[in-house]
Amino acid sequence: MSEENILEVKDLHVDIHMTEGLLTAVRGVNFEMKKGETLGLVGESGCGKSLTCKAILGINDKKCVPGGQILFDSEGLGKVDLLSLDQKGQEIRSIRGKEISMIFQEPMVAFSPMYTIGNQINEATRLHITKDKKKSKEISMEVMRKVGIANVEKRYNQYPHEFSGGMLQRALIAMALVCNPKMLIADEPTTALDVTIQAQILELMKELQKDFNMAILFITHDLGVVAKMCDRVAVMYLGKIVESADASEIYANPQHPYTRGLIGSVHKIGSAKEERLFSIEGTVPLAMNLPKACGFYDRCDARIEGLCNRAEPELVEIAPGHKIACFNCPHEACKAQRTKVEAALAAGKSPDESAGNGKDKNPSARTETSGAGKSPAKSIFKKKEGGRK
């Protein structure tokens, strides 16, 4: 594990054993996070973002089975593979909540309505920092002040229903930060808030990140939030990362057709009124019995027939720090992968060694198995009918 990294996720898989069959929800995800940086994990609903995060914390359902490696630079345990730890054992519990914290999108669900806010923040303080009641209350109140909760003495003894949505999200952030974690996982932390409160919370998170010098893994489908918050971005589709780069590079120079679609679907302030928003036709297919093909094939307007429906591209680096998994990309590294896979297919060999995860159950070409009941799309980027005038 590299010295500058706090986290390295290597070939992460999450398989879900359903009565209908095996759902390969996360299919070989690789990324790393440097100390103190913010990485945005972006993608549509159902592409595997939350399962990836829950695998890091070891809080996935029993039926969701992770594989691969999640290396974490822990204070107490040194460099450790989180997946090798007993997911209910003492070691992972000494990391979860203390060294790695998480905030969710729904603070109302995260807090129990039965206990006061102070009591719940204090629970983490007592568990991980000090058993001394007076001291732990002081620490909890201090962090409540830090996240901008006024009148802390009164607020400490109030119940969740007495807090507004924005204030409750601040309290949730306080609970996540009370142990001074090295890493924070923020799963859509502002989705449930209105835009002005959203902006305040994002600003607060940025300030606190500097104060606490922590890395943030930011899960979102909102590219506006990514632009504001993230140093780097990993775009996920159907359980895989299809593009990753610095945030500024992703916006200036998106290469994967899916990333271009996501960016095109965000309205930019200052753009002409007549300019219409793009929508990506179809939905993320269900990752069950996937054929050997690019996961985005059915929705892609840049697909290459006979190739994208027969092999799955791997992530290749096209510029320092910029990776993409697409056969139809003009960069040399992508062209080299394409040539190799085409040669393997022409020779009647499996292209698995050149590209594709080789774990798919159905080796047939992707024809009718489009998943999620979609008809094969002619173009993914359909201009919205009756767009802005």
- Choose which of 64, 127, 199, 266 interacts with ligand ATP (CB under 6 A): 64
Residue 80, beta-bridge partner list: 72
- Choose which of 61, 274, 305, 385 interacts with ligand ATP (CB under 6 A): 61
Q: Which is nearer to ligand ATP, 42 or 141 (CB)?
A: 42
CB of 73 to ligand ATP, least distance (A): 25
Stretch binding ligand ATP (CB under 6 A), from 45-53, 132-140, 256-264, 322-330: 45-53
| Sequence-distant (≥ 6) Cβ neighbours of residue 78 within 8 angstroms | none
| Sequence-distant (≥ 6) Cβ neighbours of residue 103 within 8 angstroms | 110, 169, 172, 173, 176, 184, 185, 186, 187, 189
What is the x/- site pattern for ligand ATP, positions 209-238, by CB under 6 A?
Answer: ------------x-----------------
- Choose which of 45, 210, 363, 378 interacts with ligand ATP (CB under 6 A): 45
Q: Is residue 51 part of the contact set for ligand ATP (CB under 6 A)?
A: yes
Stretch binding ligand ATP (CB under 6 A), from 39-47, 200-208, 264-272, 361-369: 39-47
Residue 171 CA to residue 156 CA, distance in Å, equals 10
- Choose which of 28, 43, 261, 351 interacts with ligand ATP (CB under 6 A): 43
Q: Is residue 241 part of the contact set for ligand ATP (CB under 6 A)?
A: no
Q: Is residue 102 part of the contact set for ligand ATP (CB under 6 A)?
A: no
Residue 78 CA to residue 96 CA, distance in Å, equals 15
353-357 own/partner pairs: CB under 8 Å, 24+ apart: 354/311, 354/314, 355/311, 355/312, 355/313, 355/314, 355/327, 356/292, 356/311, 356/312, 356/313, 356/314, 357/27, 357/28, 357/312
Q: Which is nearer to ligand ATP, 117 or 238 (CB)?
A: 238
Q: Give DSSP secondary structure letters for 10-33.
A: EEEEEEEEETTEEEEEEEEEEEEE
Number of residues that bind ligand ATP (CB under 6 A): 14
CB of 43 to ligand ATP, least distance (A): 6
Q: Which is nearer to ligand ATP, 18 or 336 (CB)?
A: 18
What is the x/- site pattern for ligand ATP, positions 5-34, by CB under 6 A?
Answer: -----------x------x-x---------
- Edge-to-edge strand order for the sheet containing 21-34? 21-34, 5-18, 64-74, 78-81
Residue 192 CA to residue 220 CA, distance in Å, equals 12
List residues near ligand ATP by CB under 6 A: 16, 23, 25, 43, 45-51, 61, 64, 221
